[in-house]
Amino acid sequence: MSFSYLKPTLYTPKRLAVKLNAKGEQFVVKGHPWVFSNSIVKINDDANTGDLAIIFSKNKNKVVGLGLYDAESPIRIKIIHNAETKVEINSAFFHHKIEVALEKRSELLQTNTNSYRLLFGENDGFPGFIADVYDNVLVVKLYSEIWLTYLEPILESLQQISNAKTVVMRLSRNLQNSKNHNFKDGEVIFGTLENQVVEFVEHDVKFSANVIKGHKTGYFLDHRANRRRVGILSKGKSVLDVFSYAGGFSVHALANGATEVTSLDISKQALDMARENGKLNAYSGQHKTISGDAFEEMKGLIKKGKTYDVVVIDPPSFAKQQSEIDLAKKKYAQLAELGEQLTSKNGLLVLASCSSRVLAEDFFDLNERVLNAQSRLFETELKTKHDSDHPIAFAEGAYLKCGYYRFLE
């Protein structure tokens, strides 16, 4: 079976000659992958989504970047190559980029782990394009129509390089509503899939992901290193996993010998997944679940006098827009304060954020300010960011940060 049937559009991309203002050009020269519409000074009148934009310098007419034009986005051109070297945009070009991406993950893949992010959007030179591997299932998620005319060679290379037996297509909401292709979200486009739920291994611990209907591509791979670390630190401990989703931190803790783990999430379906993921592994501790609003449930636990040796708080993004940053910081401060009250003597509090608009430095400063205002002494043991399969190539590509705070009394 091949991908030759994946011809979603008869449109053949054109080449566009583009000139930018000084600021826009400077960003491209420095390797930034986004060109906003207000940076474009000159472009062909008949530009269409998927066209290859050749960006020329303002003065010397030297090519400074190659990108794909997106008529539907304020990020009008998404850069796929910084033009320090001349290249032809063809199947060999994309194949090589995927090989380079796999090489960046080589150290991770030498561990007992068969789940990883093969393509991390802009950070791997594929803006608006995600590819995750779960055992022998490759899940592609598209966020932009710019890729529609290039899909066949890219998918063939992804399948070959990852050795996937099955390929699943996932679509962002705007692509689900698009009439420019015939894909369906969750469609198996290569091979077969007997079950929506695929089992995989993450540092010796077994998990599962619903690759057809699950959030994003079915699971959150970015916290892998933190989950492993928390698991090791949880041996013989009681653990509270807040915003647990499918139980990533909980299951690592159980598999590493935690005596009691409580998974807290507003979604009963997510807690069902957490319980099932736990059962994929041998463990002797007790796995409890609490369904409800995290803030309210944490306050309830505090009223009952509950404390835990390890408390992990990993909320969803609180700031999807610039206007939400201040409110997000207030929520993070609240969580740090609640988390401190739930952490036992000599316990460990792990605070995480995936809000890209809240900078890592601001997040860590906020946590330390809140914890310093409490009566107990603490030490900041560690600050971590992305795992190795989520490489960062530009400032806005960084979103994940995680702080480990040890209380001394």
Query: For 257-284, what is each residue's pLDDT tens digit?
Result: 999 999 999 999 999 999 999 999 999 9
Q: What pLDDT band is residue 321 in, cutting at 50, 70 and 90? A: confident
pLDDT recorded at residue 7: 55
Q: What pLDDT band is residue 320 in, cutting at 50, 70 and 90? A: confident
Distance CA 402, CA 385 (A): 6
Q: What pLDDT band is residue 8 in, cutting at 50, 70 and 90? A: low
pLDDT digits (tens, 9 = 90+) for 70-123: 998 999 999 999 877 788 999 999 999 999 999 999 999 999 999 999 999 999
213, exposed or middle or buried, with CB in 10 Å at 0-12, 13-18, 19+? exposed
267, exposed or middle or buried, with CB in 10 Å at 0-12, 13-18, 19+? middle
pLDDT recorded at residue 259: 98
Q: Mean pLDDT throughout 2-6?
A: 59
Q: What pLDDT band is residue 2 in, cutting at 50, 70 and 90? A: low
Residue 64's closest CA among 102, 91, 26? 26
- Residues 6 or more apart whose CB falls under 8 angstroms from that of 45 comprise none
pLDDT at position 9 over 70: no
pLDDT digits (tens, 9 = 90+) for 131-144: 999 999 999 999 99
Residue 157's closest CA among 109, 112, 124? 124
pLDDT at position 4 over 80: no
Residue 46's closest CA among 75, 13, 9? 13
pLDDT digits (tens, 9 = 90+) for 279-318: 999 999 999 999 999 999 999 999 999 999 999 999 999 9
Percent of the chain whose pLDDT exceeds 90: 90
pLDDT recorded at residue 5: 56
Percent of the chain whose pLDDT exceeds 70: 97
Q: What is the DSSP letter of 61?
A: -
pLDDT recorded at residue 297: 98
Question: Is 225 or 13 the better-scoring residue by pLDDT?
Answer: 225
Q: What pLDDT band is residue 11 in, cutting at 50, 70 and 90? A: low
State the chain's mean pLDDT as an integer. 94
Neighbours of 202 (CB within 10 A): 26
pLDDT at position 52 over 90: yes
pLDDT recorded at residue 190: 95
Distance CA 157, CA 208 (A): 25
pLDDT recorded at residue 161: 97
pLDDT at position 325 over 70: yes
Q: Mean pLDDT throughout 373-397?
A: 94
pLDDT recorded at residue 319: 83
Residue 399's closest CA among 317, 314, 313, 312? 317
pLDDT recorded at residue 3: 61
Token reading at 247: 């139980």
